Structure 1
Amino acid sequence: MTKSELITLIGTKQQHLNQRDVELAVNTIILTLTNSVASQERIEIRGFGGFTTLDRKTRIGRNPKTGEAVSVPNRRAVHFKPGLDLRQKVNASRLEYKIRDL
């Protein structure tokens, strides 16, 4: 699902809101989450999951084409840990998919 699809879906489910208000709300939420993670704040949305940043140390990597050793600088990476409700729904949908195939 893309951001525009999400905006359209929310707009059709919440018909009392106009499309511009839904778009503004979604963009504000995404911007707030992005700014929080960028400033190394932890974000937790109960039932959905949490976002944190992890520090990756400098390491020696390999160029896959030449096999030459390359220094990979330290950096930060975003880590998402799904919440219990999300994991249960994903696992339940996987079981439903397997049952339909039988």
Structure 2
Amino acid sequence: MDEAAGTLTRADLAESLHREVGLSRADSSNFVEQILRHMCEALSNGENVKISGFGSFILRDKGERVGRNPKTGVEVPIAPRRVLTFRASQMMRNRIVAGR
């Protein structure tokens, strides 16, 4: 993981596969890309993605609503849209809390 930024990247995942599983760097990178591509395709087809012990990527359709500009107070209609949310599994939440 890129310690300076505190962000786990695709390259970090591929490097971890290379180190821990023994796949070549190219195969590790392709493997990570295939998994992410498969997840993206499922989500773009309207399917939720659940990874046991990690969490769920859930699509929600939000209806049209009225919003308000906080600076001016003017009401503005907000169009209906689909949003992606992530809900961590209980196991993941417990690991995060224990890591403090």
Is contact 1:59–1:71 with CA below 8 Å preserved after alignment? yes
The alignment's TM-score, normalised by the length of structure 1, stands at 0.81
1:29 matched to 2:59? The reply is no
Percent identical among aligned pairs is 30
Question: For 1:62, which of 63, 68, 80 is the aligned residue?
Answer: 68
- In the alignment, what sits opposite 2:78? 72
1:45 matched to 2:51? The reply is yes
Report the AA paired with residue 78 of structure 2.
V
Query: What is the rounded CA distance, in whole Å, between the counterparts of 2:10 and 2:23 in structure 1?
Result: 17
Which deviates more, 78-87 or 60-69? 60-69
The alignment's TM-score, normalised by the length of structure 2, stands at 0.82
Query: What is the rounded CA distance, in whole Å, between the counterparts of 2:35 and 2:50 in structure 1?
Result: 13
Report the AA paired with residue 79 of structure 2.
P
1:13 matched to 2:57? The reply is no
Report the AA paired with residue 13 of structure 2.
L
- What secondary structure is seen at the aligned counterpart in 1 of 2:99? helix
Listed as ranges, the gaps of 5+ residues in structure 1 are 95-102
Identify, as 1 or 2, the structure richer in helix. Answer: 1
- What secondary structure is seen at the aligned counterpart in 1 of 2:18? helix
Query: What is the rounded CA distance, in whole Å, between the counterparts of 2:94 and 2:61 in structure 1?
Result: 29
Larger Rg: 1 or 2? Answer: 1
Q: CA deviation at 1:86?
A: 0.6
Is contact 1:42–1:50 with CA below 8 Å preserved after alignment? yes
Listed as ranges, the gaps of 5+ residues in structure 2 are 1-7
Q: CA deviation at 1:43?
A: 1.6
- In the alignment, what sits opposite 2:97? 91
- What secondary structure is seen at the aligned counterpart in 2 of 1:29? helix
